[in-house]
Amino acid sequence: MIKQKTIAPNSILDVEQYIFCDFNDDFVLSNPHFVRLFNSCREVFKSFDLIFKKDVPYFRMNYARCPFCGTRHVVKYGFTDRILVFKEIGRTCVKIQRYICKRCDKTFQTDLTSLVDKNSNFTKELKNESEHLISNYLGSLNNVCKSFKKFFGISISHQTIENWLFVDENILEFDVGRCSGYYIIDVEWIKVNGKWKYRHTLLDSVSNCIVADAVYDFEDETTVMKFLNESTMNKNKVAITTDLDKKYGSVISKLGFFKHQLCILHAKKSLNKKLKDYGEKYKLSKEEYKECEDQLKMIKDLFDLNVLFMKLKKNYKV
């Protein structure tokens, strides 16, 4: 006769009570708090068991087998204490069953990779919730942090959420159905798993919301082309603002943008650098350098005046 494991119905208990578990020698305590924990782990019960002893959750393997030599000749070898953060109940102290192999004498513990990533205390269910919240709040990490605190009572930093979202090169798009067609692209360095990568961000300059975000290993013309093509597909394309990098010119013309605008801030920085290089090259005196600075200031004031005029035109519909 084939042995079948019988699981006690502790997932349907609504009140605190003791039940006898017929597949082990211990008593199991179940209450509404741990029922929510049980439900959070229900989808991954194929790889481990969850029981409760004296109000403490215990994780153990369904069928203990040595991951090194593959034998079933293993015995229990104590527990590992660990703090896991669940979506519904927050931080919870759990115990993870350890084993020792009688053949190779190596120790190991219950594998929880289906529930939580390696070297992480936050469950995958909680991490997946951040993707839904980031879409609802159009990319605002601060609002996502506030939502975790308000709805789940969990304090998470915006940097932690950012690390969850950008662990690979997959593009993250936000559901922005009212894209104005006016965009700003920005590229910055970001450290992912100890390696520096390039974070490409596309913003809607009218609503000041993130349209798409992605992390890549390179910042070249091919990468920019791929990012802009995927993130602006089936969206309005009126104008886009970039820095002074030459690679944007050919890419934007191929994508069908009507206008390509250069960032005024980067233009001012470039002019300042050129003036400094010019002064060092020709060894200008303080008076000559001051005169050049005054002339450059007049040019930069024209930039600011144009921006002010556009704002007035927009506000008063001149």
Q: Where are the domains of the chain?
A: 17-120, 122-165, 265-316
pLDDT computed for residue 18 by the predictor: 37
What is the reported pLDDT for 3? 56
pLDDT for the residue numbered 4: 55
Q: Mind giving me the DSSP string for 248-305?
A: HHHHHHHHT-SEEEE-HHHHHHHHHHHHHHHHHHHT--HHHHHHHHHHHHHHHHHHHH
User: What is the C-alpha to C-alpha distance for residues 313 and 182, in angstroms, rounded to an integer?
Assistant: 17
pLDDT in tens, the chain (318 residues): 555 555 444 444 433 343 333 334 443 444 555 556 655 565 555 667 777 777 788 888 878 888 888 888 899 999 989 888 887 778 888 899 999 999 999 999 988 888 888 888 888 888 877 776 765 554 567 777 877 887 777 888 877 877 776 654 454 555 545 577 888 888 888 877 778 888 888 888 877 677 888 888 888 888 888 888 888 887 778 888 888 888 888 888 788 776 888 877 878 888 888 888 888 888 888 888 888 888 888 888 877 776 666 666 656 554
Residue 73, sorted as left (phi over 0), alpha (psi -120 to 50) or beta, turns out to be beta
Kindly state the DSSP code that residue 205 receives in the 8-state scheme.
T
CA–CA dist 248, 237 (Å, integer): 15
For position 23, what pLDDT does the model report? 39
Size of the chain in residues = 318
- Confidence (pLDDT) at 307: 63
Burial of 110 (0-12, 13-18, 19+ CB in 10 A): buried
pLDDT score at 11 = 43
- pLDDT of 107: 92
Q: Which of 256, 246, 185, 192 is nearest to 220 (CA)?
A: 246
pTM (2 decimals)? 0.46
Residue 98: what pLDDT? 92
- What pLDDT is stored for residue 99 in this prediction? 93
